[in-house]
Amino acid sequence: MTYHPILEWIEQQQDKMLANVLALSNLNSGSANVAGIEQVVDRLSDLASSLGATEERISLAPRSEVLDNGQILEKQSGPLLRLTKRPNANRRILLVGHSDTVYPVDHAFQTCRHLDDNTVNGPGVADMKGGLVVMLTALQALERSRFAENIGWQIIINPDEEIGSFASAPYLDEAARAADVGMIFEPALADGTLAGARKGSGNFSLIARGKAAHAGREHHLGRNAIAALARAMTLLDGLNGQHEGVTINLAKLTGGGPNNVVPDFALCRFNIRVPTPEGQSWAEEQLAQIVARIGTEEGITLELHGAFGRQPKVMDKAHEQLFALLRSCGADLGLPPIEAKATGGCCDGNNLAAAGLANIDTLGVRGGAIHSTDEFLLVDSLSERAKLTALLLMKLAAGEANWPDRATSVSE
């Protein structure tokens, strides 16, 4: 087939790909480690230099974090890397990855080791330093092909995916609206299964404030923040099972103090997952009602922080078209049939879908046990997955494949 010499070139890159993954993974880039993320971005920029794209490093607006004592703290993220090639092309592809990992700089898990010839255990080898190398190699392959001139592309590598992409979300949204197809390099499952539909997710902190008083002498003058918050939490937990696929997880509770004081402060954190935009509206409405009900009790105020940072990603027609095309690429390469499975987890694929961009978000390596010290990469999947993405890119660029329609229901 026409694409054969390029795919063969990718196979020759296998050893180099692995070396690059190990070098990237041995650099700590926990989401809060700004200096570590800068180092990873430097290295990625080197790896991408042969692509001839325009490079920008964008510093993001600070994100606010609600502390356990109710204080709000501004925190800085690392730089976002944006690379753009042929921005005026008629057809454009957006490729997204993240430079951060879930392992903080003081975590015990910092370096890679081989478990056997085909398995490497290491921080971020699958999620997603392996995926970043797959992405860059596939683009290098595209740029070596004669089809490259037909399309434009943009890479966004954000530093805050593992903490919800709040600071990078506006850049993802802007890029998604200007592109025709989205590709994200989160890991596939070990057997090559991809993520299909994804639930939306919101993280919230609910703060209750009451009035302190002596528990013995003037109990009647106090307003108990813990009791009020507990009433709100009971109502929140009661939403489980009331709307198909919507789940509420009460995750953390803090507040109160000595036994002889009516507590005037309590805080709880919770997560809501929703399968559809309609489910999200329902959850938002219920949440507002609960806050209004308990927050108007005499002497009690409730403060709600947080939002749905990830909208649900629904498998609509455009996504089906794109998956069908990827399946045909897999078949051309002799891979086992590529399955897609719905998941309650979310990623930047949710953000791109919310901006109307059909995307496949697990084009990275095959691997598993991510977010744990058992995280692993299956080494032979590096060139395998780079070939898969390169073929997808080349078929789209060659006009051999139909481009998916843009989704019609775009959230504003």
- Would you tell me which residues interact with Zn ion (CB under 5 A)? 127-128, 186
Question: 252 vs 371, which CB is nearer to Zn ion?
Answer: 371
Cβ–Cβ < 8 Å for 143, 149: no
Map residue 255 onto helix, strand or coil: strand
Cβ neighbourhood burial of 256 (10 Å; 0-12, 13-18, 19+)? middle
Question: Could you tell me the CA-to-CA distances from 205 to 19, 44, 115, 302, 408 in Å, in that order?
Answer: 42, 35, 41, 10, 33
Question: 186 vs 384, which CB is nearer to Zn ion?
Answer: 186
Question: 289 vs 372, which CB is nearer to Zn ion?
Answer: 372
**Cβ at position 186, least distance to Zn ion in Å:** 5
**Cβ at position 253, least distance to Zn ion in Å:** 28
Question: 78 vs 263, which CB is nearer to Zn ion?
Answer: 78
**Cβ at position 238, least distance to Zn ion in Å:** 33
**Could you give the CA distance from residue 228 to residue 290 in angstroms, rounded to a whole number?**
11
**Cβ at position 371, least distance to Zn ion in Å:** 9
Show the beta-strand stretches assigned E in 70-210: 72-75, 80-85, 91-98, 113-116, 119-121, 151-158, 181-184, 194-198, 200-209
Taking CB atoms, the residue at the shortest distance from Zn ion is 127
Question: 302 vs 347, which CB is nearer to Zn ion?
Answer: 347
Q: Which residue matches tokens 């329609």?
A: 405
**Cβ at position 363, least distance to Zn ion in Å:** 12
**Could you give the CA distance from residue 195 to residue 360 in angstroms, rounded to a whole number?**
8
**Cβ at position 93, least distance to Zn ion in Å:** 20
Question: 175 vs 225, which CB is nearer to Zn ion?
Answer: 175
Nearest to 17 by CA among 383, 392, 389: 383
**Cβ at position 161, least distance to Zn ion in Å:** 6
- Please, which residues have CB within 8 angstroms of residue 191's CB and are 6 or more apart in sequence? 336, 366
**Could you give the CA distance from residue 275 to residue 56 in angstroms, rounded to a whole number?**
35
Beta strand 181-184 with 91-98 is: parallel
**Cβ at position 241, least distance to Zn ion in Å:** 30
Question: 175 vs 300, which CB is nearer to Zn ion?
Answer: 175
Cβ–Cβ < 8 Å for 351, 410: no
**Cβ at position 102, least distance to Zn ion in Å:** 8
Question: 160 vs 186, which CB is nearer to Zn ion?
Answer: 186
Question: 127 vs 264, which CB is nearer to Zn ion?
Answer: 127
Angle formed by the axes of helices 381-398 and 317-332, to 10°?
120
Interior/surface letters 49-62, b for 16+ CB within 10 angstroms, e for the rest:
eebebeeeeeebee
